[in-house]
Amino acid sequence: MSLGEDDKLGVEGLLHLFAEAIGLSFHTVRTYRWVAARWPKDQRQDGVSFEVHRILASAPDAYELIQHPPVDERTGESRWSGDAAKRAAGWPTATPVTVAEKVEAIRDLAQDEQVAALVACDLLHRPEVAFRAMRDPQARELVNQAQFDQAELTEEGEEEDWWYESDAEQEQDGVVDPVAIVRGFHRAMEFTDLIEVCQGFVAGASRLVPKLRGREFSESQLSLVLRHLEKIRATADWIETAVSTGKVDLDEALAELLRDQ
């Protein structure tokens, strides 16, 4: 290609040609170019992944920030990970770690009003949670208003059935059953954990699969991936059966499949 042709194509045209030649998308190549330009060679950190450089590239103090990796709570080592970089850059993370991230994750899961109400009831049955919640003036005011509204509904006989069912499950002869309260809290947490597992898998797959474009795997690698995919499909079926029917028993085939985990 002559210099004149280069001028006609421009940078974007050349990036399109280069992306086609190496089997990547134009967006990916353009991102690589932008990150490389954002990080001069003397500012790049050895041992820190391209993904971390990409995430931190948008931070105003990126060059200073990358020199001070945070402490990994699991290992105690100071190192960068994708989630740590997102946290430093103010991006949402796949796995909530900080208090603020966990609160935001719970808010996302409890967008449905009925789910939010049931979870709030379960959590308020914990004395320490109720005590701290009532120290918030706005929360205390809203609870007081809700009690007033609830009293009016009770007088009019318009209280919803599900509220009575919740009370009936947790009270006998007017006495609150602490076992039922704990059971309800555990159910809420188990539901949250299940959703988190599903979301974590989807988020991880969404991040990794696009990177496989043009990759070639050996027969042993392909066999290993397919074996794990078989386990994932079987586990997904197991989860669906459990949430649909309440039956959590493993059949022999699935138990054998998961035994070498």
Which amino acid, one-letter code, is at 143?
V
Write down the mean pLDDT value for the chain. 75
Confidence bin at 2 (pLDDT 50/70/90): very low
216: Cβ contacts below 8 Å, ≥ 6 apart: none
pTM over 0.85: no
Q: Please give the residue that has the higher pLDDT: either 37 or 166.
A: 37
Q: What is the pLDDT of residues 212-247, one digit of tens each?
A: 888 888 888 888 888 888 888 888 888 888 888 888
Alpha carbon 165 to chain centroid, angstroms: 32
Average pLDDT over residues 9-30: 83
CA distance 187 to 189: 5
Q: DSSP assignment, residue 98?
A: S
Residue 18 has which token pair? 């280069």
The DSSP letter of residue 43 is: G
pLDDT in tens, 166-217: 444 545 555 445 555 555 555 666 777 788 888 888 888 888 888 888 888 8
* Token duo for residue 127: 């004395």
Per-residue pLDDT at 43 exceeds 50:
yes
DSSP tag of 171: E
Range name among 6-10, 83-87, 171-175 with the lowest pLDDT average: 171-175
Angle at 112 between CA 108 and CA 117, to 5 degrees: 100
Query: According to the model, what pLDDT value does residue 158 have?
Result: 46
Q: How far apart are the first and last CA of the chain?
A: 54
Main-chain phi, psi angles of 52, to 5 degrees: -65, -40
Q: DSSP of 220-251, one letter per residue?
A: HHHHHHHHHHHHHHHHHHHHHHHHHH---PPP
What's the one-letter identity of residue 14?
A: L
